[in-house]
Structure 1
Amino acid sequence: MADEQELQKAKALVETLERELSARCSPIDVYKAYYRGEQPLKFASDEFRKYHGARYRDFADNWVQVVSDSPVERLTVTGIKPYGADKADGESMRVWQANGLDADSQLGFLGAVTSARAFALVWGDPGDDETPVVTFEDASSCIVAYEPGSRRMRRAALRRWQDGDTYMAVLYLPGEVWKFERPVDRRTKTEDMADVDRQLDGWRPREMRDEPNPQPNPMGVVPVVELLNRPLLVDDPISDVAGVVPMQDAVNLLWAQLFTASDYAAFPQRVVLGAERPMIPILNAAGEVVGERPLDLEKLAADRIAFFSGENAKIAEWTAANLEAYTKVIEVAVGHIAAQTRTPQHYLIGKMANLSADALLAAETGLVKRVEEKQLWYGQAIREVFALIALARGEDSKSRDLRSGYMLWADAESRSQAQLADALLKLKQIGFPFEFLALRYGLTPAEVVDLLAMIERENQLDPLGAAAAMMAQRPAPAEDAVALEGDLLAEETA
């Protein structure tokens, strides 16, 4: 067990990081609620909220989810190539797959897009030295402290979560790892009693049966990596949802007003003018008139009976309200969301009338660039995750190569099979190797290895056919290659 001075220092660091983490949680909780469609009615007048707010409590025309999901569905890690290597590292991807990160990475990317940041944690597995444990963590449960003046050198990290009526926390330092716990905050009636509770319910070292606390950190670095979404030089990263929330509130209000207008004025309304409401006499047991009561107009309407009194009575009509005015404003608001977030309009509006393939590609250019930006920023963090995996396996040299390598992603652009095949054929004709073309086609490095093995087996079974195929696929002469390259550049420009 550590001495008292080290314990108090670690405890103070946990309390400081927790305060910062708690301050971040408020906007994160809002963004996650909007993603789920839990959106309170905003911008409504007090009178509208009083009479109609309750009926729209559970309604939301949820565009936040579409904006968040659209880039994530195109963010797929296919491998990592270490610095100086000719091929992607298969063992790193084995660990990636063994931890289920082909699916969980999507959750991490979605968390970063929605909450402005997400985290990845790497730690060794006592039961399997070759396969470290890698998990993605939510922005409301982790925080990383960096060296002064650096955005990458990590000094400490805190992971906090609730287990029943107890908060658990793990403090990661380059040389050691501390585990703490404390009771969930109590509800007290006075400030003095709150101070007493805080003193009694502060962080304390967690009782560990089979391991020391603190325990040494064999990797020598903080094993928590932060994935930043739209980072800034001197400020916090920005969520893709932050700019959508106000317009989402406006769209929900417009729908609420449209529904209310359709309830009251969507159909022609007939009104009787110049007539008093008909009254029915009230008789006692002897048949004498002892009073009167108004006629039940709803019963008259149900029985299809019209009743008018007064010589000046006449019928007038109010025309139905034009609800198209609301829908046009909603379309404008949704168009603003599309423009601000670089989400294709056909993702939001759903109108695709006679769009050519080139027009569809042009419409998705903003989304493709948005995805490529995220591949750049998230890729830096994922490279560090792979470097930590190597460190956890005791492979220091490989860790340096992975940290300096580059990520392999699935193509962010969505193209038809015919377009893709035509582009790859032209690249083949100007000399690009088959392995490169297979990766551009969308195969993972492991699938490319399997494909090359299949081709090798086919060549062994039919050597003459393989030789003929090699002759047919030889690169074109230099002048033809220049012409083909010009055609390809012209096509990409168009």
Structure 2
Amino acid sequence: MATEEQALQLVALLENELIRRRGPIDRHNDYYRGKHPLKFASDEFAKFHGQRYRDFSDNWVQVVADSPVERLTVTGFVADGETSADRDLWKVWQVNGLDADSQLGFLGAVTGARCFVLVWGDPDDPDMPVVTFEDASQCIVGYEPGSRRLRRAALKRWQDGNQDYATLYLKNQVWKFCRPLQQQDKSPQMADVDEAFKQWTPREMGEEPNPQPNPMGVVPMVELPNKPMLVEDPISDVAGVVAMQDAINLLWAQLFTASDYASFPQRVVLGAERPMIPKLNSAGEIVGKQPVDLDKFQVDRVAWITGKDARIAEWQAANLAMYSGIIEMAVGHLAAQTRTPQHYLIGKMANLAEGALLAAETGLVKRCDEKTLWYGQGLREVSRLIALAKGEDGKAQALRSGRVLWAETESRSHAQMADALLKLKSLGFPFEWLALRYGLTPTEVADVLVMRERELEADPVTELTRNLTGGGTVPDPQQPADEEQPDEETEAAA
């Protein structure tokens, strides 16, 4: 059991690491939302045009981040030794809204390099644990020295009103702390006065004890890393896109500037003074001269140029296609580096064959398969925590080595999918496995099986005909069966 002093030391250590991670997480989230500062611009360009393009962004980061997330869908969990998905576990998943919130968690992992899942029991409903996906900017897991899986502690820190809150999860205890919200831009005197209030203090929980025991016996928070490394932090999918995104934004800014100043042929008058008109007083007398308003020439499109040496020259319009070509090349580099299909980014669809489109999406499919492997390890542990929270130790042990069911990551038409499943059925694959492969959830599969049983009871002959394969035929009950002919060995024996 940890003392309060030991718990506060762990909170301080985990909080410092969480603060260190916060910078890149916030930066990548801003880029996903389209908040891109103008980068790579010269000092002169930034001075004259930086404010003009302050809120502009040609946001490709969002497309790169969304492309794998839209193909990551959990459809069930299967315990070790079982042949069908666990319906009770899937009920917990749906009651907690994780069929939708899991998409938010996966998106957070893609942009912030990791996300977390917290499991805790509900005292009002022991059979329905509370499961939530948590953002990487608020949570952190500390591991045992030398291990990437054995969790020692976990911390969740957040703000609400004028208070900071922190919850420390240990294997056998849960500590809850709070402190006044740290105010910014304070004078040194007030900062010294508030120094005493910066320390975490145990939260007043009424009748709830603090610390309270952890009945699960393990840290109830699991990390889902994105692109994990052996010794370094996991990598965000957005991290490698930021630099190219900045370059694309600058090219667009330069294109817009060129289109504003040099996209039309510019004409210049040589060898002539600027046209002048008489300046009259209130009595109509000429008192001087004043230059002609050139804006009026632009509207009337007529001008009188005097002078024997007067002539008009022309500057050619800027070649804006040069900018668009470079931008398209930059987007192509971005697609190749992130394994995002170019037709997701460029938006041009030619008359491509079906096989060509599948080949174009191979990189994205493999990228999604990698994520199902990385996230699946953590979700398998989440399923174990759910069983522990319900007091089902035997099921928890089986789920620890079970597997997570995912929807198909490859994009196929219904005709393609049906054809593939029919071929698998002809090889002997059972209907329940094929239904899961099709993308149905365990609950939907169970409902379909019940419907099949009803159809079989209502019309068994039709159902039998439908299931025959390999050129089999249905015997006609009105036609007598052929008499059995003895084989050659029987005749010889006779």
Give the TM-score band, short-chain normalised: over 0.9
What SS does structure 1 have at the residue aligned with 2:425?
A: helix
Q: Is structure 2 residue 239 aligned with structure 1 residue 232?
A: no
Distance 1:474 1:223 in 2: 55
What SS does structure 2 have at the residue aligned with 1:134?
A: strand
What SS does structure 1 have at the residue aligned with 2:450?
A: helix
- Return the match for 1:296 from 255, 269, 293: 293
Distance 2:375 2:91 in 1: 20
The equivalent residue for 1:484 is none
Comparing 183-192 with 320-329, greater Cα deviation is found at 183-192
- Return the match for 1:131 from 128, 131, 137: 128
Q: Is structure 2 residue 42 aligned with structure 1 residue 61?
A: no
Q: Is structure 2 residue 157 aligned with structure 1 residue 143?
A: no
Question: 1:311: Cα distance to partner?
Answer: 2.2
Distance 1:372 1:80 in 2: 17
- Return the match for 2:117 from 117, 120, 123: 120
Question: 1:253: Cα distance to partner?
Answer: 0.6
| Matching of residues 283-432 of structure 1 within 5 Å | 283-285=280-282, 290-432=287-429
The equivalent residue for 2:78 is 81
Distance 1:169 1:473, change over 3 A: farther
Distance 1:144 1:426, change over 3 A: same
Give me the identity figure in percent.
Answer: 68
Distance 1:261 1:323 in 2: 7
What SS does structure 2 have at the residue aligned with 1:32?
A: helix
Structure possessing the higher radius of gyration over alpha carbons: 2
What SS does structure 1 have at the residue aligned with 2:41?
A: coil
Distance 1:200 1:466 in 2: 74
Corresponding letter in the other structure for 1:448: V
Distance 1:317 1:341 in 2: 45
For structure 2, the 5+ residue unaligned runs are 474-494
Distance 1:475 1:126 in 2: 58
TM-score (norm 2): 0.92
Question: 1:283: Cα distance to partner?
Answer: 4.0
- Return the match for 1:156 from 147, 153, 166: 153
Distance 1:118 1:474 in 2: 52
Distance 1:468 1:304, change over 3 A: closer
Question: 1:471: Cα distance to partner?
Answer: 3.3
Verify the 8 A CA contact 2:180 2:197 in the aligned structure 1: no
Q: Is structure 2 residue 177 aligned with structure 1 residue 175?
A: no
The one-character-per-residue Cα deviations of 1:313-347 (angstroms, maximum 9, x if unpaired) are 11111222111111110111000111000000110
Verify the 8 A CA contact 2:276 2:289 in the aligned structure 1: yes
Corresponding letter in the other structure for 2:298: A
Distance 1:287 1:102 in 2: 84
Question: 1:377: Cα distance to partner?
Answer: 0.5
Q: Is structure 2 residue 167 aligned with structure 1 residue 201?
A: no
Comparing 272-281 with 108-117, greater Cα deviation is found at 272-281
For structure 1, the 5+ residue unaligned runs are 477-494
After TM superposition, the runs of 4+ consecutive aligned structure 1 residues lying more than 6 A away are 473-476
The one-character-per-residue Cα deviations of 1:60-99 (angstroms, maximum 9, x if unpaired) are 1111000000000000000010011111111000000000
Distance 1:439 1:290, change over 3 A: same
Distance 2:192 2:214 in 1: 35
- Return the match for 1:34 from 31, 36, 45: 31
The one-character-per-residue Cα deviations of 1:106-129 (angstroms, maximum 9, x if unpaired) are 000000001000011011111111
The equivalent residue for 1:486 is none
Corresponding letter in the other structure for 2:455: E
Question: 1:474: Cα distance to partner?
Answer: 8.4
- Return the match for 2:44 from 26, 42, 47: 47
Distance 1:187 1:341 in 2: 39
Task: Tell me how large the CA RMSD over aligned residues is.
Answer: 1.9
Corresponding letter in the other structure for 1:8: E
Verify the 8 A CA contact 1:177 1:216 in the aligned structure 2: yes
What SS does structure 1 have at the residue aligned with 2:63?
A: helix
Corresponding letter in the other structure for 2:172: G
Question: 1:31: Cα distance to partner?
Answer: 0.3
Verify the 8 A CA contact 1:82 1:406 in the aligned structure 2: yes
Distance 2:116 2:354 in 1: 38
What SS does structure 1 have at the residue aligned with 2:178?
A: strand
